[in-house]
């Protein structure tokens, strides 16, 4: 695996790959890698001939300098993991390499970046959309891979690619989960032992919703009530988001569910917010780690 720190060197190599007709896959991340990130890499490796895996903690998507500086970083370990999985290129630029002084141009959205998580973290999705637009231009990938776990982000990327005609295919990858069903996340390691145990209430909640949906329940009010009831059993967690949204447009759902729908959950344990999602009717769409 080759590690690139500069846009120029990465582009020189990718130009040669493109001349040879190689299909290029792109996996953007902020590092501190876990099984979920490696699942994205494996999806890219399975369908592309070159995989560019980016590790870049993007200051423009953090709402405070403190969150940015305290974000976990483990580049040496991450690079070893990527080499083991068989990734071709790791792109790990510095902040200065990506954001030159005087940067003024941003990608923003009218609605999608301002609801749910966007409402809680003003400016977050603007930073996400802008770094993705920039790296789509730098890399010129054929496909880019994103986790369904961050469902709002996935919807935002799809929308941006459609609206601005980026020539890249966006691939959504099912959520990778710890053996107890909690979605793999670098944030899990920041939880206290009690909170990590309590977090199991999140998959319990969407599973209860799924059982009811499977049995034929289509009232969004009733399904949300069940999700809330399960989450409220665990007093350590504070419910921050519990919502049903259209899978394609992210619009609010009608009282009677008729179209493909996703349940979005965000629960805070102490200082740590965990997020999860479940597409109603898609019982088999998770990958469980064996560790
Ligand atoms: P992050 O480094 O947190 O910005 O995440 C980088 C990418 O990994 C995003 O596309 C996330 O949706 C994806 N991701 C994070 N956790 C998981 C998971 N448990 N399963 C699948 N993809 C994930």
pLDDT in tens, 198-253: 999 999 999 999 999 999 999 999 999 999 999 999 999 999 999 999 999 999 99
Of 273, 49, 264, which is closest to residue 175 (Cα–Cα)?
Answer: 264
pLDDT in tens, 11-58: 999 999 999 999 999 999 999 999 999 999 999 999 999 999 999 999
Mutate to test the pocket of ligand 1, among 33, 35, 37, 272 (most ligand atoms within 8 A of CB): 37
pLDDT computed for residue 289 by the predictor: 59
The residue-averaged pLDDT of 181-192 equals 94
pLDDT computed for residue 286 by the predictor: 53
Q: DSSP class of residue 254? A: P
pLDDT computed for residue 64 by the predictor: 86
Active site residue 34: no
Mutate to test the pocket of ligand 1, among 128, 131, 149, 288 (most ligand atoms within 8 A of CB): 149
As a whole number, the mean pLDDT across the chain is 95
Ligand 1 atom showing the smallest separation from residue 174 Cα: 21
Backbone dihedral region of 56: left (phi > 0), alpha (psi from -120 to 50 degrees) or beta? beta
- Ligand 1 pocket (Cβ < 6 Å) reads 29-30, 36-37, 39-40, 146-147, 149-150, 173, 175-176, 183-185
Nearest residue CA, atom 14 of ligand 1? 147
Nearest residue CA, atom 7 of ligand 1? 29
CA-to-CA separations, 88 to 52, 134, 146, in angstroms, rounded? 7, 21, 18
Q: How confident is the model at residue 67 (pLDDT cuts 50, 70, 90)?
A: confident
Residue 10 near residue 27 (C-beta atoms within 8 A):
no
pLDDT in tens, 69-97: 989 999 999 999 999 999 999 999 999 99
Do the bridges between strand 2-4 and strand 89-91 make them parallel or antiparallel, or are there none, so unpaired? parallel
Helix H or strand E segment including 274: strand 272-279
* Per-residue pLDDT at 285 exceeds 60: no
Q: How confident is the model at residue 172 (pLDDT cuts 50, 70, 90)?
A: very high
| This prediction's pTM | 0.96
Backbone dihedral region of 203: left (phi > 0), alpha (psi from -120 to 50 degrees) or beta? alpha
Of 90, 62, 63, 88, which is closest to residue 76 (Cα–Cα)?
Answer: 90
The residue-averaged pLDDT of 183-192 equals 94
């Amino acid at each position: 695996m080759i590690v690139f720190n500069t846009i120029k060197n990465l582009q020189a190599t990718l130009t040669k790959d493109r001349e040879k007709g190689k299909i290029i896959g792109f996996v953007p991340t902020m590092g501190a890698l876990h099984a979920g990130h490696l699942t994205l890499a494996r999806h890219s490796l399975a369908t592309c001939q070159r995989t560019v895996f980016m590790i870049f903690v993007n200051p423009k998507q953090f709402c405070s300098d403190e969150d940015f500086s305290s974000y976990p970083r483990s580049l040496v370990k991450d690079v070893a993991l990527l080499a083991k999985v068989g990734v071709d290129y790791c792109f790990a630029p510095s902040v200065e390499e990506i954001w030159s002084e005087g940067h003024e141009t941003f990608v923003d959205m009218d609605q999608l970046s301002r609801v749910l998580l966007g409402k809680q973290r003003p400016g977050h999705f603007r930073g996400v959309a802008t770094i993705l637009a920039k790296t789509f231009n730098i890399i010129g990938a054929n496909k880019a891979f994103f986790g369904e776990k961050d469902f709002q982000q996935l919807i935002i990327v799809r929308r941006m690619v459609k609206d601005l005609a980026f020539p890249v295919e966006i691939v959504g990858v099912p959520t990778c989960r710890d053996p107890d069903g909690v979605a793999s996340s670098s944030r899990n390691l920041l939880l206290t032992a009690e909170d990590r145990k309590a977090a199991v209430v999140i998959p319990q909640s969407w599973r209860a919703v799924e059982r009811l949906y499977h049995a034929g329940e289509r009232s969004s009010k009733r399904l949300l009530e069940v999700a809330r009831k399960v989450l409220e059993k665990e007093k350590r967690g504070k419910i921050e988001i519990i919502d049903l949204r259209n899978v394609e447009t992210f619009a609010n759902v009608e009282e009677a569910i008729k179209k493909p729908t996703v349940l979005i959950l965000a629960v805070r344990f102490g200082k740590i917010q965990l997020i999860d999602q479940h597409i109603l009717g898609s019982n088999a769409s998770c990958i469980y780690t064996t560790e």
